[in-house]
Structure 1
Amino acid sequence: MLAVIQVILLALDILWWIVIASAILSWLYAFNIVNSGNAFVDSIGTFLYRVTEPLYRPIRRILPDLGGIDLSPIVLLLGIFFLQQLLILYVAPAVIRAGM
Structure 2
Amino acid sequence: MSGIGSLLILLLTIYSYMVIAYILMSWFPNARESSIGQMIGQLVEPFLEPFRKIIPPLGMIDISPIVAILALHFARMGIAAIF
Q: Percent identity?
A: 34
More helix by share: 1
Q: Which 5+ residue runs of structure 1 have no aligned equivalent?
A: 30-35, 93-100
2:51 aligned with 1:85 = no
Per the TM alignment, residue 48 of structure 1 is displaced from its structure 2 partner at its CA by: 1.4
1 CA distance for matches of 2:56 and 2:25?
23
Residues in 2 aligned to 1:21 and 1:50: alpha-carbon distance in whole angstroms: 13
The separation in 2 between residues aligned to 1:67 and 1:24, in whole angstroms, is 18
Aligned counterpart, 2:35: 43
The one-letter code matched in structure 2 to 1:14 is I
Aligned to 1:4: 4
The question of whether the paired residues in 1 share the 8 Å contact of 2:56 and 2:62 is answered with no
State the shift of 1:85 in Å: 1.1
Instruction: Report how far residue 43 of structure 1 moved.
Output: 0.3
Structure showing greater radius of gyration is 1
Q: TM-score, normalised by structure 1?
A: 0.74
Aligned pair count?
82
Separation (CA, whole Å) in 2 of partners of 1:50 and 1:64 = 21
RMSD: 1.6
Cα displacement (A) at 1:65? 3.6
Letter in 1 for 2:15: L
CA distance in 1, matches of 2:35, 2:56: 30
What is the identity, as a one-letter code, of the residue corresponding to 1:86?
Answer: G
Partners of 1:48 and 1:67 in 2: CA distance: 25
C-alpha contact (below 8 Å) 2:57/2:63 kept by paired residues: no
